[in-house]
Chains A and B, each alone.
Chain A
Amino acid sequence: MERFELRRQDFRLDDDQQAVREGFGDFFTKQVPSSLVRDAQPLGFDADLWQRVVAMGATSMGLPEEAGGDGATLVDLVLVAEELGRVVAPVPLVSHVVASRLLARAGGAGELLAAAAEGERVVTLALQPGVGGNRQLVPDAAVARDVLAWSAEGLTLHTLPEPAAHVPNQGSTPLAWFDPAAGERTVLAAGPGAEALFRTAVAEWKLLTGAALVGIAESALQLGVEFAKSRRTLGVAIGALQGVAFPLADVVSEISGARNLVRKAAWYAEHEPATRPDLPLVAFVHAARAATEAAWVSAHTQGGLGFTVEADISLFFLRAKGWSVLGGDPGADRRHIAAALLAAV
């Protein structure tokens, strides 16, 4: 592993990227007050909001131009996902974008891809390899009739008559059990190529979810910081006390690193996918931990109030884990990351 390579470390966003970030930031902030998030519980899907997200171009922007997209880069997509996470928007955008990109790469199912680009049909991805016909929990499958899955047979599109039944869960996500025997099945690709497509899609899902987790962490932090500025004890603001301030300083350190790591992973995945294929996993593991820590520290900063359902921090606390856990045990990612290092040294 070359640790002294001459590379730029320029994390500044260019004007277009800045416009994407600000455009979606404004959009999500205006369109998604916390009341909307609460109203969408327990399913975690707001059909109206979804239409508006589609109208923003979010479902098509990441597709190649031939597939009706704008060829937005993964850097653009992580910027959007961070803004989505900031307001914990109840829309299946991450799974949908990743599954649509996978569809486009695999080829076939052109009609579905067109409908997906328009947001008319929601597509999702089973993140675990299918073995022996075992069922698995799939993110957003409670609002998607079309599920992409990979098994020894290949990469398969499962089209169900209607989305599977929602299973209520801590993060209020549209989670559902996926039965690989269910629905109409079309094999889109087979062999090692199919597996590579699947692994890339899972990495993209982790990357975009990592970005959303950075957004969650940032909002959680802000709630804690605002509380710490105004809440008083012994005649001073609690935020003046190091026992309160230092954990918040730790949190902002974790978040700022996770944000750059997500962007770095996105940049490599876009421009040099073969150089550091482990980076999306690195970013996901770090972002998941940052979000877990941010949510807990912020909730705790708010004392008993931070433990109540009424407090907005509850929305972020429950989703910090509720969204990251969908990616499976980070231990598996860490083993991949270490294996990549062993291969490189």
Chain B
Amino acid sequence: MDLGTVELTPEQEAFRQEVRAFLDEIVTEEVHEHERRTGDGFHVGVHLALGSRGWLFPEWPVADGGAGLDRVCQRVLALELARRHVPMVTHSTTGLVWAAVELSADPELAARLKPEVAAGRVRFCLGYSDPEGGSDIAGATLRAVRDGDEWVLNGSKLWTTGAHNCQYTFLITRTDPEAPKHKGLTMFLVPLDSPGVEIQAIHTYGGERTNAVYYTDVHVSDTHRMGDVNAGWATLQGPLSAEHGAGRPDDGLSDVGMAMGTREFEAAIDAAARWAKHTTRPDGTLVADDPAFLDRLGALVVEAEASRVTPGPMGRVKSSLSYIAGIAELVDLVGPEALLAHGADGAIEGGVLDYAHRFAQGTATYGGTTEVFKGMIAQHVLGLPRLNLPGSKQWVR
């Protein structure tokens, strides 16, 4: 076991200073204001600036557009980005898709895209979820029909987050409606500027923007197919399991579990703790002196600590559910001030609790719902039998 602080070499320390100075320069108040206004999870200026340093794919060799960073420096960079709340949603979807591009795309296409992706000029989003239901990924309905060297796409996807800032979507399509459901899927990397693609905004009360994307007679070259025809399920496994936390090096420089929202939860807890120290209630008592307040706040600290160290898929469930229950409790503890909006008179630290409460709800849904994960834990961690339902193997419409 080693939970100790990491001693930096002089070079690593210099790198940390470089990161801090650079981020101080590029992550301006305008970046945060932009994020509050758009909910894009993306800022083009920041993204390109990171790309210019090779810091979008910092582990890649410099020759490939990365920065050739060692694991410690990668962690230093990740922590400094997190500390500054840099919007990273499109960055992370791009990374997930790249893994599949490298494995399954036409090598010429992959070679052409690589420097663009590293520089930040080409970005990818995830076109998995169907309007009819996202949990049953293999039940995808968007049709792709072969037409010579091309494919013709018709249908729609919901929740393609970042589509309006991306050049390609990593799309699941149904190519054989007669086959068992996992055997009739094919993946494509679809250029989003293709005629027939229409992107419409969807806004969440968590402040995020995501999209509905409609595909009407969209023609895609066969060179944009990813993996074999009807082998889409296999093509998808790499990026899906990476999204579910697999494959992180086991050297203690990654997070323990796939905590969702724990940073936001902690930020709200810390803000409430600071608030309690200097706030007297209308009856003149200091909040920090109230034993009931401390008892309930202490329970939330325990939940956040547990969320951080709960491993693997269990951490995904634990963190999200603790956060949702815990932030609602924290709002009760603080009272109406907790829900004052950013910029309002009396808003706590820029409305951090207001934001954290709204943001929490989505964490139980995207990336695979908490129920989907409980199902995986039941089967793969506990070894419980799987439930066979009419649509488990067949494509049931």
Contact = CB atoms under 8 A, between A and B. Distances in A.
**Are A and B physically bound partners?**
yes
Interface of A: 1, 3-14, 17, 75, 225, 228-229, 236-237, 239-242, 245-246, 248-250, 252-254, 256-258, 260-261, 263-264, 267-268, 271-272, 278-279, 282, 285-286, 331, 333-339, 341-342, 345
B3 A268 contact: yes
A338 B305 contact: no
B263 A245 contact: no
A5 B5 CA distance: 8
Interface stretch (B45-53, B145-153, B232-240, B268-276): B268-276
B248 to A, nearest CB: 11
Interface stretch (B106-114, B251-259, B337-345): B251-259
Nearest to B382: A225
A338 B3 contact: no
Contacts of B387: 236, 240-242
A1 B277 CA distance: 14
B314 to A, nearest CB: 4
Contact of B382 (A249, A261, A263): A249
A284 to B, nearest CB: 9
Nearest to A13: B1
B381 A252 contact: yes
B295 interface: yes
Contacts of B294: 334-335, 338-339, 342
Contact of A229 (B3, B256, B273, B385): B385
A9, A260, A336 — which one has the most chain B CB atoms within 10 A of its CB?
A9
Interface string B283-326: 00000100101111111011001110111101101100000000
B83 interface: yes
Contacts of A13: 1
A75 B83 CA distance: 31
A271 B273 CA distance: 27
B172 to A, nearest CB: 25
Given A6-B76, A9-B255, A253-B314, 6 more contacts: A3-B270, A228-B384, A246-B378, A249-B378, A250-B374, A341-B269
B309 A4 contact: no
B273 A345 contact: yes
Contacts of A11: 1, 3, 252, 256, 309, 311
Lowest 6 A-B CB distances belong to which pairs?
A10-B252, A334-B298, A257-B310, A8-B252, A239-B384, A245-B378
B83, B266, B276, B384 — which one has the most chain A CB atoms within 10 A of its CB?
B384
B374 A286 contact: no
Contacts of B385: 229, 236-237, 239-240
Contacts of A225: 382-384
Contacts of A336: 298
Contacts of A240: 384-388
A72 B267 CA distance: 37
B253 A8 contact: yes
A336 B298 CA distance: 7
A250 B320 CA distance: 12
B193 interface: no
A270 to B, nearest CB: 10
B2 A10 contact: yes
B33 interface: no
Contacts of B4: 7-8, 271-272
Contacts of B83: 3-4
Nearest to B79: A4
12 contacts: A7-B5, A10-B3, A11-B256, A11-B309, A17-B1, A242-B378, A249-B374, A258-B306, A261-B309, A264-B309, A334-B299, A341-B301
B291 A6 contact: no
B256 A9 contact: yes
B80 interface: yes
B266 to A, nearest CB: 6
A11, A257, A279 — which one has the most chain B CB atoms within 10 A of its CB?
A257
